[in-house]
Amino acid sequence: MKLYSILLINKRQSKILEEAYNLSEYNFIIQFQVKRLIRAAILDIMDNMDEKDSGVESVDEKIYDFKVNITLKFIDNLLGVIISDIDYSNTCKIQLFKELFSRNSHIKKIMNEYKEDKSEKLTDEINKELDIAEYNAKDGIRKILKRGRTLEQITMDSERLSLASKKLFMEAKKKNAWCCFR
């Protein structure tokens, strides 16, 4: 999940106020062509937008080999544009628009902050931990079964241990109970 471009445009002047791109992995010629295509498409879209459209518009498009999502938000003669992967998180986009329309924001800082979707990283970490836990559990069961014991024997031993620990707990509870003096 990746963020490709952020633009802030003044509708009255039909002028791009600020723009930032995350195209560093592509060569200069492709970067130039993609930037030019984005600028032309966004200015054309902006000219066709009605000033009453203050909601968020979202469109999935295919640009070259990329399937991208173009999200537009229009507030106070300013048009904010976010171009990202289709899978880029909507919550990140909402937060990005909030920062984009705050008057003291700098678009290059915002681009650096939101380049990668942070929720994807967290999900990947959780999935890795789950994979490790699953591997360890399967490996443990495999090793136990290699010892020649069946799953029924292991289950019965586990139940016996559980009963023994409950009895031990009850006896300890009785022995450690406070005496009540009246």
CATH code of 10's domain: 3.30.450.50
Question: Residue 49: CB partners within 8 Å, gap ≥ 6?
Answer: 11, 72, 74, 79
- Tell me, yes or no, whether 40 and 98 share the same domain: yes
Confidence of residue 182 (pLDDT cuts 50, 70, 90): very low
pLDDT at 159: 93
- Tell me, yes or no, whether 170 and 140 share the same domain: yes
Q: Percent of the chain, pLDDT > 90?
A: 5
Provide the domain limits for residue 151: 121-175
- Tell me, yes or no, whether 84 and 128 share the same domain: no
Q: What pLDDT digit, counting tens, does each position of 136-167 carry?
A: 888 888 887 788 777 788 889 889 999 999 99
d(CA 1, CA 87): 6
